[in-house]
Structures are given as C-alpha cells and as structure tokens.
Structure 1
Amino acid sequence: MSDERHTVKIGAWANLGEPRAAVALEESGADWVCLDAQHGHFDDRSVRETLALRQSAKVPMLVRLLSDDGAGIGRALDSGADGVIVPMVESALQAANVVRASFHPPRGSRSFGPMTGVSYNTAGGYPKRGPLLAVMIETATGLENLEDIAATTGIDMLFVGPYDLALSLGTDVDTLLADAAPKSPLSRVIDACSAADLIPGAFGGTPIRARRLLDRGFSWVSNCVDTSLMQEGFKVMKDSSLGERV
C-alpha cells in the first residue's frame, strides 16, 4: 500500500444520481469517482445502472454508502463498485464490521451472489486484493478512536469528511483546514495513516479546499462535485466564447 498511499489522486464527486453523467466523470480525466448514496441522489437502482454502463474500468469508482449496514456494503460491491466509502465510523469494532461485510468467507461474512450482467472491474488493480475500503473520520468520537480505527486489518483508507468533522468539533471547515499544529485533527489523521500504511483521503469539494488538503498531506482528494462542475464549466465556456469575439 505504501506507493498507493503517497500517490496523489484527484477525484470527482457525483451527487446527481444520473448514471450517464457519472460515467462521463470517469471519462473526464478524474483519478477516481465517488457515487454519493448518502447525501447525493444515488439510490440502489442508479448505483447499479451507473456501474452497468461502464464499458471498462478506467479509474476506481467508489460508492459512499448511506450507513455502515453490512447488506448495503455487499449490495454496492455486488453491483460492481471498486470499493466503498463508509460514513460516520467511530470505533475499531465498527471498522472491523465494515471489513467483515466486504469480504466473502472465510475472511468475512459477505453473501456470495454475483448479479446477472455485472462486469466486475479491475480499475487500479484493487479487485486482485479485494475492494478498496475507506472509512470516514467525521466526528469527535471517531477522532478520539482514530488510532484504533486505523489499526483495523483490512481498511485501506481513512477518509475525512471535513464538514461534519468541523461541526462535531464546534468549528468551521476553513478553520479546520488551516490548523496545521502537530496535534491538530487533520495532522492526527495524516500521522495515523502513516503509522498504519493507509491512504489519507478527504472530501475537498472545491479546487481551493482540495489544494489545502493536498498541502496538508492528503493524497486522495475530491476537488469537485458534478453540479458545481457543470456550473463552473459553463462559465468558463461562456467567458471563452465572449473573449474570442472581435
């Protein structure tokens, strides 16, 4: 995992729940794509339809789940997801249950039942070693149990949700990102990832916040959401068109 941990990968976050738009993100040059089934419009059907549209796995496509429910984890992986991002993980036991739900016996408890018509992808090589498992650190309790969570065998990534983490800590996102003290929340996450040889990931949402997270040492960072990408993209195209007029 060491080489993967240090490799910067810029991701695109899909909220709209529109399969064709999400697959277009995979074709856009993003290093990974997340389908948001927690705060986005993706449900079971749109996740399955998106993954079924992929002609080949160009980059890892992950699903941010509604919860840590084991059935939901298995369902996303059965649909062909390259990995999952599990929200609100607050203990090593919870992290261990994520791992157990992600693997078939004898390693885990995931039920075996490949979906008809699903092509299981190999983006980034992850299916060779199992799905990529990211657990979200986004509460004060999760931060308190950070080192124990990071030590959980089978976890690949600690993924910071800075908005919820800031709320839980009684601060705001920009203050959280700016705090570079050795024992600050984000510094602790980076150190925990380094000690456990995990990938440090985070939701940036905008290029500016993504840059701050990259500067702090995070390597898998999302820098856009599909909705804002369309809005900003049109502005760029419009300005470019107007600028070319004589």
Structure 2
Amino acid sequence: MTDADLPADAVRTGVWATLGDARTTLALERAGFDWVGVDAQHGHFDDAALRGLFALRHEAAAPVLVRVAANDPTAIGRALDAGADGVIIPLVQDAEQAEAAVAAAHYPPRGARSWGPLPGSRDTTGGAASMPRPRCAVMVETARAVAAVEDIAATPDLDMVFVGPFDLSLALGRDVDDLLADTAADAPLPVIVRACRAAGVLPGAFAGSPERAAALRAQGFSWIAVTTDSGVLHLGSAAARAGLTPPT
C-alpha cells in the first residue's frame, strides 16, 4: 500500500467504527472518508458482527481495516477471511512481533496464513494467487515499541505503523494532548514519523477528534482516524442543531 499517487503532504482521512452496527459502518464508508477502521479490540465488533458487516458490503467504496483484538494468527486470518481489506494489530512491541503479524496476514510463500475465505466473502475462483494483497498495520503504543520503531518499520511487507496515542500517553505517563503537541526531535511522535519515512511505510494514528487530528497532521501522520462513528453522530447533530439556531 503506497500513496505514490498523492502529494507528499496528503492525508488520508479515516473514521473509526466502534458501535458494532454493519449498516452504520457501511454508510460511513460511503460518506466520503478515505478509509474505515473497524474496532474488534475495544469496539462492539465480535466475530459475528464482522461477518455480518462484510456480508452486506457488496461494493467497496474505501479500504476497511479491522483492528483485531490481539496479535493472533487466528484473529488476523479470520478478519481477512471475512472480507477485510487489511488488519491493524495492537500492542506490537518489537520487530519479531511485527514480522509475526505480517506473516499471519499473508499466504505462503511470504507468510503462514491458511487458505479459507468465508463463503461469499470474496470471489475465490482464482485461488490464493487472485486474492488482493492484504494491508497490514502494527500499532506502536508503548515505550518499548517506540524504542524499537526503526526495526518495526523496516519489517518487510509492512504497510503502516499506527499510533494509539491514548495508550502511548498512558505508557509514558504523559497527558495525551501534551504528547501530540511535542515536536522536539527526540519526542515520541517525531521519532515514529521519521522511522516510517526512512522505511517507506505509512505513519498512521487514531485521533478521535478533529482537533487532535490537526495535531497529528502537523506531526506528519498521513493516515488519521479523525473521529469515531459515535463522534460523527455528535458532530452531525451539533451541525444540524446549529442550522436551526436563530442568529443573535
């Protein structure tokens, strides 16, 4: 996965789905976002909800990536078998764990993923060779991972290093907004972005709000989950109510 067709400073704006509702998620995919993150770690998407989502997704409008619950080959393969375009792997600590994630996402000879797309999830007539290349992102969320980020980013066939700023701020004992605003050369976020650029992989992050998304963009992140599905409802509700508010 590359952004070679985009300007160097282009940002892919994403939305993070947590509510577990397939139709809401598919509506967000068609709402103009560049990508959708589906949360099977801290959201309401269990295995049945993921299968239901992709069973209803007849045409792709934007890449849909599933954050699985753990760096587990079964969870990774199951999300991809259901029809996900890619996976986001939480709490990856070092290059060995990053390699395990990539291997779990790819069929042999690159990886160790077992063949078995869920019936009806994709056209499988051409076998594994005809399947789209899976996108694989690993999350950097701890001090240990930041220290190893150059090696993590250099993992062959890794597409993205994705920052979870809330867990990272907890791990570092810092306020999340202080972390996002820290632009010192040796600060965690600039270190991560430099490692991604050196390795030729995408720097991604969860923002959760437009204000935090702007801070991440200023740091150099290019795939940013601006808000959540419930956040879209809140922002849309505020905009709708504002439209009916008489001028003062």
Q: What's the counterpart of residue 57 of structure 2? A: 54
1:167 to 159, 167, 170: 170
- Aligned mates of 1:168, 1:139 — CA distance in 2: 5
1:136 to 107, 116, 139: 139
Cα RMSD for the two superposed structures: 1.7
- Aligned mates of 2:135, 2:91 — CA distance in 1: 17
Q: What's the counterpart of residue 158 of structure 2? A: 155
Q: What's the counterpart of residue 31 of structure 2? A: 28
- Aligned mates of 2:117, 2:17 — CA distance in 1: 25
What is the percentage of aligned positions where both structures have the same residue? 48
- For residue 116 of structure 2, give the secondary structure of its aligned residue in structure 1: coil
- For residue 75 of structure 2, give the secondary structure of its aligned residue in structure 1: helix
Quick check: 1:136–1:161 contact (8 Å CA) kept in 2? Answer: yes
1:63 has 2:71 as partner:
no
1:3 has 2:4 as partner:
yes
Q: What's the counterpart of residue 84 of structure 1? A: 87
Code of the aligned partner of 1:94 = Q
Cα shift at 1:228: 1.8
1:19 has 2:22 as partner:
yes
- Aligned mates of 2:102, 2:5 — CA distance in 1: 19
- Aligned mates of 1:114, 1:162 — CA distance in 2: 33
Code of the aligned partner of 1:53 = L
1:196 has 2:189 as partner:
no
Cα shift at 1:191: 0.3
1:213 to 203, 212, 216: 216
Q: 1:2 to 1:239 in 2, by over 3 A?
A: closer
- Aligned mates of 1:24, 1:154 — CA distance in 2: 31
- For residue 118 of structure 1, give the secondary structure of its aligned residue in structure 2: coil
- Aligned mates of 2:133, 2:155 — CA distance in 1: 15
Higher helix share: 1
Count matched residues.
Answer: 239
Q: What's the counterpart of residue 101 of structure 1? A: 104
- Aligned mates of 2:200, 2:246 — CA distance in 1: 48
- Aligned mates of 1:147, 1:4 — CA distance in 2: 25
Give the 4+ runs in structure 1 shifted more than 3 A. Answer: 4-7
Cα shift at 1:231: 1.9
- Aligned mates of 1:10, 1:243 — CA distance in 2: 32
- Aligned mates of 1:165, 1:8 — CA distance in 2: 22
Quick check: 1:80–1:120 contact (8 Å CA) kept in 2? Answer: no
Cα shift at 1:48: 1.2
Listed as ranges, the gaps of 5+ residues in structure 2 are: 125-129
Cα shift at 1:105: 1.3
Cα shift at 1:55: 2.1
Code of the aligned partner of 2:170 = L
Cα shift at 1:2: 5.7
Cα shift at 1:223: 0.8
- For residue 3 of structure 1, give the secondary structure of its aligned residue in structure 2: coil
